[in-house]
Amino acid sequence: MLTNASQVLLRNSDLVKDQSVLVLNYESDHLPKALLDTASNVCGLALDYHHHLMMQPYACADLTLYFGHQLPTDECFDSVIVYFPKAKALAPYLFNLAAKHLKPQGQLIVVGENKGGIKSLPKQLPGYFDKAFKVDNARHCIVFTSELNAPAPILKLTDWINRYQLDTPQGQVTICNLVGVFSEKKLDEGTELLLANLPKMRGNVLDFGCGAGVITAALLKAQPELKFDCVDINAMALASCELTLEANGFKANIFASDGLAQTSQRYDGIISNPPFHDGLASTTNIATNFVKDSAANLKSGGIFHIVANRHLPYSDTIADNFGSVTVAAENNKYKIYSNVK
């Protein structure tokens, strides 16, 4: 099933007839594969690891697929399709990335939901693109096209970092937050409560949904002997985490994981501000799986320590998998759940 944005793109597939096409930030469907009915070859770059895993089985000679914040090659394409991001701050980065991989006078195609900021695209396009033209408006989505008419700036990741000093109970740490990453300019309230109530950890620790690496950096500031795995599904978050730890002189294993599926060890501790914002039904499902997988991947005596919005359904699931529920701290918005296996 294609998303609304993908359906509108597909009905305009003549735009890429017999062309080489790059699809940036594609959604949770098979649009890159569907484009092969019209395009000569397609390359897809997913910034969401779940989306990459959905497409990966369909990779072939004419369909190359990558996960990350940049392509591993300098290949240029006849057309680049950009899905307008939910995090609007990410849009200028994607336009710069698109320009890097477009041939001169190559075609830019941007699609997005009406309510997601796409309407302002003509004002947002940087000067190296021509005027944007609306080519379709359907299924609550708009498709714009433009043309690369001048060289774009060299894409440097360092130009897209918001770097700031953060005072935590564990000491001051440097945070490097790339555009589009959660809490780009300041510490969110949930993580603030978590850092004020950190347990003494030991051994190997998993930071699930690591974001820009705030929790890992704070814990390593207090306990530099800890060994960390940091996982996330967001490519910009993983890159941010790498930059944050490097800025503080810390090291960790940082990698994409679908839940805990790509982890390969059992842990002495799992810590998280879980990134669940997918609607109540999906959130309940994800939360249940996260708690269940955490219990299965903790060593005996291991600590499960998370912060969550107090209305999310964690208590019953934690009780089912750990035998009890311990709320270590709470305020009017969040609870700290802390259990020992």
Nearest to 259 by CA among 233, 298, 236, 238: 233
Check residue 280 and give its pLDDT.
Answer: 41
Strands 253-256 vs 141-147: parallel, antiparallel or unpaired: unpaired
Nearest to 293 by CA among 312, 316, 270: 270
Strands 298-309 vs 334-340: parallel, antiparallel or unpaired: antiparallel
Check residue 288 and give its pLDDT.
Answer: 85
Other CB atoms within a 10 A radius of the CB of residue 281 amount to 8
Check residue 281 and give its pLDDT.
Answer: 46
**What is the chain's Cα-based Rg?**
21
pLDDT digits (tens, 9 = 90+) for 76-134: 999 999 999 999 999 999 999 999 999 999 999 999 999 999 999 999 999 999 999 99
Contact (CB, 8 A) for 9 and 37: no
Between 1 and 183, the more confident residue is 1
Check residue 207 and give its pLDDT.
Answer: 98
Give the angle subtended at the CA of 164 by the CAs of 163 and 168, to the nearest 5°.
Answer: 140
Q: With a cut of 90, say whether residue 278 has pLDDT above it.
A: no
Check residue 182 and give its pLDDT.
Answer: 79
| Sign of the CA dihedral running 319, 322, 325, 329 | negative
CB-neighbour burial class of residue 89 (10 A; exposed 0-12, middle 13-18, buried 19+):
middle
Cα(340)–Cα(322) distance, integer angstroms: 8
Q: DSSP letters of 274-308?
A: ----S-HHHHHHHHHHHHHHHHHTEEEEEEEEEEE
Check residue 312 and give its pLDDT.
Answer: 83
What structural domains and CATH numbers belong to the chain? 4-153 (3.40.50.150), 158-340 (3.40.50.150)
Q: How confident is the model at residue 311 (pLDDT cuts 50, 70, 90)?
A: confident
Structure tokens at 101: 């991989």
Other CB atoms within a 10 A radius of the CB of residue 147 amount to 15
Check residue 284 and give its pLDDT.
Answer: 66
Mean pLDDT of the chain: 94
Cα(8)–Cα(146) distance, integer angstroms: 17
Q: How confident is the model at residue 276 (pLDDT cuts 50, 70, 90)?
A: low
Q: With a cut of 70, say whether residue 277 has pLDDT above it.
A: no
Check residue 275 and give its pLDDT.
Answer: 74
Check residue 279 and give its pLDDT.
Answer: 41
- Percent of the chain residues past pLDDT 90, beyond the cut: 90
Cα(256)–Cα(266) distance, integer angstroms: 17
Q: With a cut of 50, say whether residue 264 has pLDDT above it.
A: yes
Weakest mean pLDDT among 11-25, 74-88, 174-188: 174-188
Cα(50)–Cα(340) distance, integer angstroms: 30
